[in-house]
Chains A and B, each alone.
Chain A
Amino acid sequence: MGVTEARAQFDEGQGALIASGDWHAEAAAALPALPDQPARILDGADITQLDTNGAWMLLAAARWQAGESLPELRAFQPQHLAMLQLVARHSAAATALPEPPRAGVLELTGRGALAMGMHVLGLVDFIGRLSIELAVLMGRPGQWRWREFGAQLSAVFVGAIPIVFGMLFLLGVVFAYLLGSQAQQYGANIFVVDGLLLAILREISPVIVAVLVAGRSGAAITAQIGTMKITEEIDAITTLGLSPLVVLVIPRVLAVLIALPLLVFIGDIAGILGGMLITQVQLDITYAMFMDRLADVLNLKTLMVGLGKAPAFAIFIALIACRMGLSVTRDARSVGEHTTSTVVQSLVAIIVLNAIFAVMFVRLDI
């Protein structure tokens, strides 16, 4: 098949557009500029090939508008004539539409703020509905989904142990090192243990573990429930007379609620181990001295402040993840958007809650 470019020239005298060559989408893209006046005659004697895209372009080159009568079609081969008439019949739909207006910065900001407000409202509504289901469930312990709960606990807790341990260990190393390099200047080496304990147990471990769980399990929960929504599994659950909240949401919320404090505890240990390792190398504090000091300064209050924040973080992460999963609409893009939204909302919730806790603990002198 020899590819010859589509050619067209306008005969002023006859008002005729004389076309030749192969008319398909690619070949007809490189046409020279033609006069902007409708052709009265369309000559197709030398057209070697014509497909639907080519036919549409030929009509466009003749400045033909859908709805008008066709120009006189001269010397076309029968199959080309049929193609041209077919395309002309369907051309009414192919008129140029104006581009939808693009939203400005102000509009986008406004929409973003509205969306945030809607998320808060939606979460409150979700908590309400979940509470009703929980109240009903209390009376019927037989409907608890223990198996689902076990599977979720294993996914959220057991699967996260290595990464939580590794991250907090490294953070302990970094924090003790920075603290040590400052304390060294004042000969206050042993107080590094105090600072490390306070920082890891009260702030670093709960917040970092919550962030890890939000990114890991929160995203997974939204993606899973969202995909179930798309494949109509949620509808199937409802049709079987079960509540998606009981079957899916409550086991996940409980699993995260139990897993997060445990993970924070593991993170505490990993952070202290990391700090212990680095103080021995950097400040010559032996493991025995470290443990001795640890026993002196560690009190239950410091530990419980950190562990006590974890359930609050957990509830928010799990509720946001489940709600976003259930509000996925019916396409794949929506799963991605909602998963992103889960992580963002969870991180915001963690930071805000942590700030509230900090102020609260100071006021209460804890």
Chain B
Amino acid sequence: MTGPVIDVRDVSITLGGHRIHRGLNLSVARGEMVALIGGSGTGKSVLLREIIGLLKPQAGRIELFGQSVPDSTPEQMNALRRRLGVLFQDGALFSSLSVEDNVATPLFEHTRLPHAMCRQLARLKLDMAGLHPDAAKKRPSELSGGMRKRVALARALALDPELLFLDEPTSGLDPISARAFDVLIRLLADSLGLTVFLVTHDLDTLFSIVDRVIVLSEGRVLGSGTVAELKRIDDPWLRDYFAARAPEGETAHGN
């Protein structure tokens, strides 16, 4: 129980002739909230897909809860996936199901509970994600972008995962909704004791809720630490990245 929740060692992958990762190392401890940043095309999303087992690296080791992801059989992987929740970038809600059924789907599929009880649990999750009960019977297409993200978060939390992956949780949200969503994620992570691994471009998220930031560059981890520690690293991309935000204390929003 004390080992790292995510452990990535010497991972290399080449996709379409491009070497995306060249011996990448990182680990995330239980209860941490870690953000992954990096320029476009540095393989953030690829890394996320590798960790949740949707892509297989050509070399290296990836372990979740001490179990190797690339070497798992499909049954082992499914058991492992029940311990993770994933929030996809655009929510990836099932458009043919109601909001409530979207959240209840993991419960329908993975538990023996009666469907009526699954739906009650789904509404509990929706309420925790800050959605009004009236929204439960609507279809995803009837919701605003911010509400869809909340539904997707509720679905990611449906099976009470220990580890939550978020791909650009605040992209496409206005600054007010984005901050509210940040606060919600932090609140849920603290109260449910979650480990959170998020990919983001949102500087405000980094400054406000994240414990540690990992920077990807040229297929490797360039640095890892708090924002203040990263600012000391002499790298042109990182300097430009942090310069994109007005100095702390001023209320300006970078997105």
Q: A25 contacts B127, CB within 8 Å? A: no
Contact with B along A50-61 (1 / 0, CB 8 A): 011110100000
Q: A26 contacts B124, CB within 8 Å? A: no
Tell me whether chain B's interface is mostly helix, strand or loop, or mixed.
helix
Chain A residues contacting B193 (CB-CB under 8 Å) are 79
B107, B110, B120, B157: which contacts A95 (Cβ < 8 A)?
B120
Chain B residues contacting A25 (CB-CB under 8 Å) are 107, 110-111, 113, 121, 159-160
Q: B191 contacts A29, CB within 8 Å? A: no
Alpha-carbon distance between A54 and B141 when the two chains are bound, in angstroms:
31
Contacts A25-B107, A83-B191, A333-B96 known; A53 to B127 CB distance under 8 Å?
A: no
**Is there a chain A Cβ closer than 8 Å to B176's Cβ?**
no
Chain B residues contacting A106 (CB-CB under 8 Å) are none
Contacts A51-B160, A52-B160, A53-B160 known; A26 to B127 CB distance under 8 Å?
A: no
Q: B96 contacts A332, CB within 8 Å? A: yes
A27 to chain B: closest residue by CB: B111
Contacts A24-B160, A83-B191 known; A96 to B107 CB distance under 8 Å?
A: no
Report A46-91 residues with CB < 8 Å from chain B CB. Answer: 51-54, 56, 79, 82-83, 86-87, 90-91
**Is there a chain A Cβ closer than 8 Å to B189's Cβ?**
no
Q: A29 contacts B124, CB within 8 Å? A: no
Contact with A along B134-165 (1 / 0, CB 8 A): 00100111000000000000000101100000
Q: A94 contacts B95, CB within 8 Å? A: no
**Is there a chain A Cβ closer than 8 Å to B192's Cβ?**
yes
Chain B residues contacting A26 (CB-CB under 8 Å) are 110-112
B190 to chain A: closest residue by CB: A82
Alpha-carbon distance between A86 and B124 when the two chains are bound, in angstroms:
10
Q: B95 contacts A53, CB within 8 Å? A: no
Chain B residues contacting A330 (CB-CB under 8 Å) are 141
Q: B124 contacts A90, CB within 8 Å? A: yes
**Is there a chain A Cβ closer than 8 Å to B133's Cβ?**
yes
Q: B120 contacts A96, CB within 8 Å? A: yes
**Is there a chain A Cβ closer than 8 Å to B184's Cβ?**
no
**Is there a chain A Cβ closer than 8 Å to B128's Cβ?**
yes
Chain A residues contacting B95 (CB-CB under 8 Å) are 331-333
**Is there a chain B Cβ closer than 8 Å to A109's Cβ?**
no
Chain A residues contacting B220 (CB-CB under 8 Å) are none
Contact with B along A19-47 (1 / 0, CB 8 A): 00000111001100000000000000000
Chain A residues contacting B96 (CB-CB under 8 Å) are 331-333
Q: B116 contacts A52, CB within 8 Å? A: no
Q: B140 contacts A331, CB within 8 Å? A: yes
Alpha-carbon distance between A1 and B2 when the two chains are bound, in angstroms:
12
Which one of A1, A90, A93, A329 has the highest number of Cβ atoms from chain B below 10 Å of its Cβ? A93
**Is there a chain B Cβ closer than 8 Å to A92's Cβ?**
yes
The smallest beta-carbon distance between B46 and chain A, in angstroms, is 25
Chain A residues contacting B121 (CB-CB under 8 Å) are 25, 53, 56, 94
Q: A56 contacts B111, CB within 8 Å? A: no
Q: A92 contacts B140, CB within 8 Å? A: no
The smallest beta-carbon distance between B244 and chain A, in angstroms, is 29
Report B95-117 residues with CB < 8 Å from chain A CB. Answer: 95-96, 107, 110-113, 116
Q: A93 contacts B141, CB within 8 Å? A: no
Contact with B along A310-349 (1 / 0, CB 8 A): 0000000000000000000111110000000000000000
A52, A56, A329: which contacts B141 (Cβ < 8 A)?
A329
B107, B116, B141: which contacts A331 (Cβ < 8 A)?
B141
Q: B124 contacts A93, CB within 8 Å? A: yes
Contacts A52-B192, A330-B141, A331-B95 known; A92 to B127 CB distance under 8 Å?
A: yes
Chain A residues contacting B111 (CB-CB under 8 Å) are 25-26, 29
**Is there a chain A Cβ closer than 8 Å to B123's Cβ?**
yes
**Is there a chain A Cβ closer than 8 Å to B125's Cβ?**
yes
Chain A residues contacting B116 (CB-CB under 8 Å) are 96
Alpha-carbon distance between A144 and B213 when the two chains are bound, in angstroms:
55
Chain A residues contacting B141 (CB-CB under 8 Å) are 329-331
Q: B128 contacts A52, CB within 8 Å? A: yes
Q: A87 contacts B124, CB within 8 Å? A: yes
A24, A94, A333: which contacts B123 (Cβ < 8 A)?
A94
Q: B126 contacts A93, CB within 8 Å? A: yes
Chain A residues contacting B110 (CB-CB under 8 Å) are 25-26
Q: A51 contacts B112, CB within 8 Å? A: no
Contact sample, A vs B, 11 pairs, CB 8 Å cutoff:
A25-B121, A51-B192, A90-B127, A91-B124, A92-B133, A93-B133, A95-B123, A97-B119, A331-B140, A331-B141, A333-B96
Q: A56-B121, A331-B95 are in contact. List 19 more A-B contacts (CB 8 A).
A: A1-B1, A25-B111, A25-B121, A25-B159, A25-B160, A26-B110, A26-B111, A26-B112, A53-B121, A53-B159, A83-B192, A91-B127, A93-B126, A94-B120, A94-B124, A331-B96, A331-B141, A332-B95, A333-B96
**Which positions in A face B, CB cutoff 8 Å?**
1, 24-26, 29-30, 51-54, 56, 79, 82-83, 86-87, 90-97, 329-333
A-B pairs, top 9 by smallest CB distance, nearest first, are A331-B95, A51-B160, A93-B127, A333-B96, A94-B124, A90-B127, A330-B141, A331-B141, A93-B133
